[in-house]
């Protein structure tokens, strides 16, 4: 650690471990100097900082614990600058916040390298005095209308077109930020000055996911819900097919039974017809025999008369 008396008040001291970090090339407003030390940055006699990216933390989760243990209890104000450089960041941020609470670190989330550079410059220019960092975080207004306006305009730059007058109208109509956030597009459009484009932008800004990870999660849940619905429809379709198949089998069984009965009736009729034909043939043969016998008797009678 650099001795306090050796610190130059206008210099941001940087550990050689940070050489190659592109954040340093973005620091323009304060001079930097490399010096062998435990923390990554020293902004003042009682203020230091560690640098960590979410991507690196996910690959090496024990790294930050080692760095903090090396620092011991040195420095009054201990800052952990976290570069949020991946979308799947929710769990990591929660873990680092918990570490910050337990180890007496102030966790500062930076969503870009330029933002991180501005934090370093500001802390250095203020010489570690946290009570005068107004250029980083604007003092929160105690006026509810101003807070609503700040939420709708400053907090959601992607809305576009929503001004202070619109904010006041929305507040007077719905009475709370929660009611505004849960309002439907039709309800928002009832406010004077809220045209279709403003309504669309406001609604989308208030309902879009916090990160791409949550967006993917919502899409996955939607996919699973659709899959469950599809499985239900397939189950109903399979049940309907089974019922149709069973009905078809019953109809085929009835048809087979009818065919069997018709076939048996036909065989019975054919047997009766054959019997009738046999009787007719027998009767015909008998008549022929009788005719032959009659003719024979007549011939014998004539022969006797001739004699």
Residue 218 is predicted with a pLDDT of 72
Residue 153 is predicted with a pLDDT of 66
* Ramachandran angles phi, psi of 138, nearest 5°: -70, 140
pTM of the complete model:
0.45
Return residue ranges of the chain for CATH 1.10.150.20: 144-207
- Closest C-alpha among 68, 45, 44, 53 to residue 18: 53
Please tell me the class of the 144-207 domain: mainly alpha
Residue 160 is predicted with a pLDDT of 55
- DSSP, collapsed to helix, strand or coil, labels residue 89 as coil
- DSSP, collapsed to helix, strand or coil, labels residue 249 as helix
Residue 215 is predicted with a pLDDT of 65
Return residue ranges of the chain for CATH 3.40.50.10130: 4-132
Helices (H), the chain: 54-59, 63-71, 90-103, 113-125, 144-149, 164-174, 177-182, 185-188, 196-207, 212-306
d(CA 281, CA 30): 134
DSSP codes joined into one string, 97-148: HHHHHHHT-EEEEESSHHHHHHHHHHHHHTTT-GGG-TTTSPPPPS-HHHHH
* Three-state helix/strand/coil letters over 139-185: CCCCCHHHHHHHHHHHCCCCCCCCCHHHHHHHHHHHCCHHHHHHCCH
CB of 32 within 8 A of CB of 12? yes
CB of 83 within 8 A of CB of 110? yes
Residue 144 is predicted with a pLDDT of 62
d(CA 177, CA 189): 16
Q: For residue 33, what are the β-bridge partners?
A: 13
CB of 30 within 8 A of CB of 59? no
- The dihedral over CA atoms of 216, 188, 183, 89, expressed in degrees to the nearest 10, equals 30
Between the CA of residue 247 and those of 165, 172, 238, 242, 244, what are the distances in Å? 69, 65, 14, 8, 5
Angle between helix 90-103 and helix 63-71 axes, rounded to 10 deg: 20
32-34 vs 12-14, strand pairing mode? parallel
Structure tokens at 17: 């471990």
Q: Does domain 4-132 have CATH number 3.40.50.10130?
A: yes
Residue 58 is predicted with a pLDDT of 93
Strand order in the sheet with 77-83: 32-34, 12-14, 41-44, 47-53, 77-83, 106-110
- Closest C-alpha among 44, 69, 40, 42 to residue 52: 40
Q: Which residues contact 9 (CB under 8 A, 6 or more apart)?
A: 44, 127
Tens of each residue's pLDDT in the chain, 307 residues: 454 546 787 889 999 999 999 999 999 888 999 999 999 999 888 899 999 999 999 999 999 999 999 988 878 899 999 999 998 888 999 999 999 999 999 999 999 999 999 999 888 887 645 444 444 445 444 556 666 667 676 554 445 567 778 888 888 788 887 888 888 988 888 887 788 888 888 888 887 765 555 667 777 788 888 888 888 888 888 888 899 888 889 888 888 888 888 888 888 888 898 888 888 888 888 887 777 777 777 777 777 766 6
């Amino acid at each position: 650690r650099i001795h306090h008396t050796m610190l130059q008040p206008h210099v941001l001291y940087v550990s050689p471990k940070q050489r190659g970090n592109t954040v340093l090339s973005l620091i323009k407003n304060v001079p930097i100097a490399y010096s062998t030390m435990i923390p990554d940055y020293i902004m003042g006699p009682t203020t230091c900082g560690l640098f960590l990216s979410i991507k690196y933390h996910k690959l090496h989760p024990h790294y930050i614990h080692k760095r903090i243990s090396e620092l011991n209890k040195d420095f009054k104000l201990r800052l952990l600058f976290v570069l949020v450089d991946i979308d799947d960041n929710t769990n990591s941020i929660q873990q680092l916040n918990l570490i910050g609470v337990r180890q007496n670190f102030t966790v500062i989330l930076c969503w870009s390298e330029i933002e991180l550079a501005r934090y370093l410059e500001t802390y250095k220019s203020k010489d570690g005095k946290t009570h005068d960092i107004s250029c980083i975080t604007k003092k929160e207004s105690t006026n509810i209308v101003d807070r609503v306006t700040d939420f709708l305009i400053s907090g959601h730059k992607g809305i576009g077109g929503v001004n202070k007058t619109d904010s006041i109208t929305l507040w007077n109509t719905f009475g709370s930020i929660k009611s505004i956030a849960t309002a439907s597009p039709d309800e928002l459009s009832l406010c004077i000055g809220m045209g279709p484009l403003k309504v669309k932008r406001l609604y989308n800004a208030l309902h879009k996911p916090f990160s791409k990870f949550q967006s993917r999660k919502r899409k996955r849940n939607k996919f699973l819900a659709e899959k469950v619905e599809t499985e239900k429809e397939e189950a109903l379709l399979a049940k309907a097919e089974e019922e149709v198949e069973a009905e078809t089998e019953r109809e085929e069984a009835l048809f087979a039974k009818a065919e069997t009965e018709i076939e048996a009736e036909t065989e019975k009729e054919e047997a009766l017809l054959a019997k009738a034909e046999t009787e007719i043939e027998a009767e015909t043969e008998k008549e022929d025999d009788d005719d032959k016998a009659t003719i024979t008797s007549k011939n014998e009678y004539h022969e006797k008369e001739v004699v």
